[in-house]
Amino acid sequence: MAPTKKRNVSSKSNAKRDKIDLEGVVERILESRKHANDVFDILEFLQSEKEEDVICAVNACCKLFCTLLERKDLFIGKLPGEDASLNGGHSAEMKYKIFMRHRYNSCVEIMLEHLNHETHEVKESALCCLMKFAEGQGQHPLEDLDWSEHFSFPRELIQAVVHNLLSQSSDNSLLISRFQEFLEMEDVRYYVMSSIRENVATVMEKNKGAVLPVYQSNVFILMSNINMPSQNSELTNFMVKQEAKHEDWKAAKLNDHKRAFERMWLGFLKYKLPNSMYKKVLVILHESILPHMSKPTLMIDFLTAAYDVGGAISLLALNGLFVLIHQHNLDYPDFYKKLYNLLEPSVFHVKYRARFFHLANLFLSSSHLPVYLVAAFAKRLARLALSAPPTALLIVLPFIYNLIRRHPSCRVLIHKPTLEDELLEDPYVMEEEDPALCHALDSSLWEIKSLQRHYHPDVAKAAMLINTPLSEQEDDISEVLEITAYELMERDLKLSQGKGTPLEFETATHLLKGGGEVLGQHFCLV
């Protein structure tokens, strides 16, 4: 692109005067082509160091070039060099269009640079102006059209915008949130998804797949801001409406949107991510990603890798695996063995405890599970309960009772007859990773008996239920999944406040009366 002409800018001019001057310059250029060279004044202000000057110049450029696009006063097709156009046999009108097209390209180049400006207001103004340019180019194309695929959409400009939004050095989350408004347009969304996939592949290959926290964070924020339609009938909001063959346009087909969405996410997730990014992805995976993929089972590699990481990441991977197993008939080997090994003391303290127990309850709800497996889960939870906080125990105890209700054969864990000379040693092997080899059925739930002497009355009361025959109706653990220590304490305090403090039946009325006489008598006696 041709470099812009530099001129000195007077330091005495204020923002208000600059704005009026620029508006006048735009009007002169649009009124008569003899003022075409005045466009350099606008481009000069566009590169000013003053924030106010830049914003005024952005608005002026937006008005000027959008109008020129509508008038078709910019050269259309492969742009010849500026020197060649002056020496060639072009008409005066064509030379004008070539000249203004070069100025337009310079303006777009500067606007793209301003997307990395240190001031957010400049970034936002430049972004909005570029998207207006994109809309203008869509309605009045500047290039020869590829009707077989892209129709009259300014794909290259959208690619350039996406490239600058996905910065490797600065956090663009605020600017990306502003860009979300444009992602509501079907065609913009479609080409942004394609641009993200190409950009991620280029950047990550260049960096040999190394973790890039800032860049990957920007990519994730941009992708997570994409709201996918669920039906073809919802594809109605287009920035560029095709006059012909609109129904054949990929951006107007839901299946093509899903394929672009799927390829975008798979292209992003195939590279190594920061641990914090794994959590962010897994939190939204089951609701915002899997339902909009054409082949959700392609996520199995990512979910398997996340499930093997351990800790909170493994807990979050359960959601995605649950969707694939129950809705897409995924056969996951050793699933219950890995779920069993997730039961560690830390599971009671993680942020996603409620989600984990909700999913574990669903996975263990089948009555066709082998008895040894259910017994292993019940015994492991009982052992972990010995060191768990009260809020966790109010979940674990009903959870264990529900397992026994679903599988009556596990009642042997409650009623375990013993001989008088039998050694009191628990055969259960806590360190065994395979639930089939941990000898849970040879043990008993003595841990629950111990919890009957727990310091918290609610826990002790829940543990006492094991002394009576369990009812057939299961306990609803959803009511206690989200309970916190603060809520538990508040509830206990309210109960204690409700009870009146014991007082003397007959109120003392003469306790302080005559105090002086009593003291006086006391002194007289002394």
Each residue of 387-412: pLDDT tens digit?
A: 999 999 999 999 999 999 999 888 88
> What mean pLDDT comes out for the span 450-457?
91
Q: What is the pLDDT of residue 58?
A: 95
Higher pLDDT, 87 or 211: 211
What confidence score (pLDDT) does residue 2 get?
Answer: 41
pLDDT single digits (tens) 197-255: 999 999 999 998 898 999 999 999 999 999 999 888 888 888 887 766 667 788 888 99
The more confident residue out of 146 and 371 is: 371
pLDDT at 423 over 60: no
Residue 270 pLDDT > 50, yes or no?
Answer: yes
Q: Which two tokens stand for residue 164?
A: 């600058």
Quote the pLDDT of residue 1.
40
pLDDT bucket at 333, cuts 50 / 70 / 90: confident
The pLDDT value recorded for residue 246 is 65
Answer yes or no: is pLDDT of 501 > 80: no
- Eight-class DSSP state of 502: P
DSSP character at residue 116: T
Query: pLDDT tier at 519 (50, 70, 90 boundaries)?
Result: very low
Residue 307 identity: Y
**Average pLDDT in the chain:** 84
* Start-to-end Cα distance in the chain: 113
Can you give 295-311 as a three-state secondary structure string? CHHHHHHHHHHHHCCCH
More reliable by pLDDT, 13 or 457: 457
Residue 416 Cα to chain centre, angstroms = 49
Residue 8 neighbours by CB under 8 Å, 6+ apart: none
Maximum mean pLDDT: which of 236-240, 430-434, 468-472: 430-434
| Model confidence at 44: pLDDT above 50 | yes
Cβ burial of 198 (10 Å; 0-12, 13-18, 19+) is: middle
pTM of the model: 0.78
Distance, CA of 337 to CA of 335 (rounded, Å) = 5
pLDDT class of 10 with cuts at 50, 70, 90: very low
pLDDT at residue 21, as a whole number = 76
Q: Can you tell me the mean pLDDT for 260-267? A: 95
> How much is the average pLDDT of 11-24?
55
If you ran DSSP here, which 8-state letter would residue 286 be given?
I
In the numeric block, which tokens belong to residue 526?
């002394």
Separation between Cα atoms, residue 261 and residue 194, nearest integer Å: 8
Q: How far apart are CA 448 and CA 383, in angstroms?
A: 9
Higher-pLDDT residue of 217, 309: 217
Whole-angstrom distance, CA of residue 148 vs CA of residue 342? 52
